Amino acid sequence: MTYTKSLQGKHLITTQDWEKEELDIILKLAKEMKENRFHHPLNKSLENKSFFMFFYNPSVRTRQSFEIAATELGGHALFLEPKSMRLKTATTAGETIEDAAIVMSRYACGLGIRILEDKIPHYGAGEDLLREYAQYSTIPIVSMAHDKYHPCQGLADIMGIQGHLGELKGKKTLLTWGHGALARSWCSVQEYLLMASRYGMSINLAYPEGYDLDPQVIEQTKKNCDQNSQEFNITNDVKEGYEDVDVVYSRNWMSPQAYKDNKLHNEQEIEKALQFNEWICDTEKMRLTNDALYIHPMPIDRGNEVTDEVASGARSIIYDVAENRLHVQKAVMALTMGEY
């Protein structure tokens, strides 16, 4: 069996950096790996290789899925935390990103980095850190979620929707803000906008006034939709976006005012968000859809972002999407880091 060599050594910081055909290759392989999980021909592609996982922020699915992916590919994943390493920061002396990236490249076959909202001084700082590692690294850098993008989640989302709806061009999705007791970063929702629009879906984006996303991501999403002759609509109405859509994605995200004085003001963001209690995905709103699937990257703030009835309902595919994280990450690691 022959696989493309074009992805070897390629960084994955956002799916928008990749050609659509390259994303298709990953999704095709991920489906093969899901169907033939323990006996796929690439299951030894990382044999005797190690993958570094650099966690500034904790996780449930991300650590589990990457560790299992490395193991099932015949390799080994190492869990790293910045607090256990002597790294240079804005306030402390230590090893530079250049030196760390070059040394890590001599040890491992790839490096995953997870850095989210409360570990950065301002929006974009996490993205800058990943791209600086990519500048000096000679092994693939994979975003395990950072402040702007979450590429593996975006791939898992699309894989899950394709598994239920098939061809996505011409289908319609709603991405809607949900109130809640968390100040979540923009990474998952922005990656979803980029991926859904790349795959030809018409998009409704709904949120209360004051919760705009990154203007550059919005502009790129519009371009993606235009290239596929699909619509992109933004509304501040809590129900309007649900009408006739095929997929609903409800999630809380922070406002553009979340960072002040080089710090995330988490408590103020939560206090503000909880005032919009009508912004919850519930059965009443789902009745406006085209019997839509419900997706969410998890963890879900049940009772705030979405009701239990919807999250655990017959049209929810949240667990399919969560499982797909493992398979898309195996595909990414095999084709960017493996031998075949």
Structural domain spans, the chain: 15-149+323-337, 153-321
Tokens representing 223? 């371009």
The enclosing H or E element of 176 equals strand 172-177
Do residues 301 and 178 touch, judged by C-beta distance below 8 A? yes
Task: Phi first, then psi: give them for residue 103, nearest 5 degrees.
Answer: -65, -45
Give 28-53 pLDDT, tens digit per residue.
999 999 999 999 999 999 999 999 99
Query: How many whole angstroms separate alpha carbon 23 and alpha carbon 115?
Result: 23
Question: Distance between alpha carbon 27 and the CA centroid of its chain, in Å?
Answer: 15
Tens digits of residue pLDDT in 262-280 = 999 999 999 999 999 999 9
Which of the four pLDDT bands, split at 50, 70 and 90, describes residue 90? low
Of the pLDDT bands very low, low, confident and very high (cuts 50, 70, 90), residue 91 is low
Kindly report, residue by residue over 158-214, the tens digit of the pLDDT.
999 999 999 999 999 999 999 988 889 999 999 999 999 999 999 999 999 999 999
110-141, pLDDT tens digit by residue? 999 999 999 999 999 999 999 999 999 999 99
Using an 8 Å Cβ cutoff, are 158 and 196 in contact? yes
Beta-bridge partners for 111 = 52, 141
What's the predicted TM-score (pTM) here? 0.96
**Cα distances (angstroms) measured from residue 171 to each of 20, 38, 246, 249, 324:** 18, 33, 6, 14, 21
Question: For domain 153-321, which architecture applies?
Answer: 3-Layer(aba) Sandwich (3.40)
The architecture in CATH of the region 15-149+323-337 reads: 3-Layer(aba) Sandwich (3.40)
pLDDT at 2: 61
What is the structure's pLDDT at 93?
77
The answer to whether the CB of 181 falls within 8 A of the CB of 300 is: no
201 half-sphere exposure, CB direction, 13 A CA radius = 28
Distance CA 272, CA 66 (A): 34
Contact 161, 293 (CB under 8 A): yes
Is pLDDT larger for residue 95 or for residue 111? 111
Condensed to tens digits (0 to 9), the pLDDT of residues 210-248 reads 999 999 999 999 999 999 999 999 999 999 999 999 999
Alpha carbon 26 to chain centroid distance?
15
**Over the stretch 53-62, which tens digit does the pLDDT of each residue have?**
999 998 989 9
**Same fold flag, 15-149+323-337 and 153-321:** yes
* CA–CA dist 250, 179 (Å, integer): 9
Estimate to the nearest angstrom the gap between the alpha carbon of 81 and the chain centroid. Answer: 20
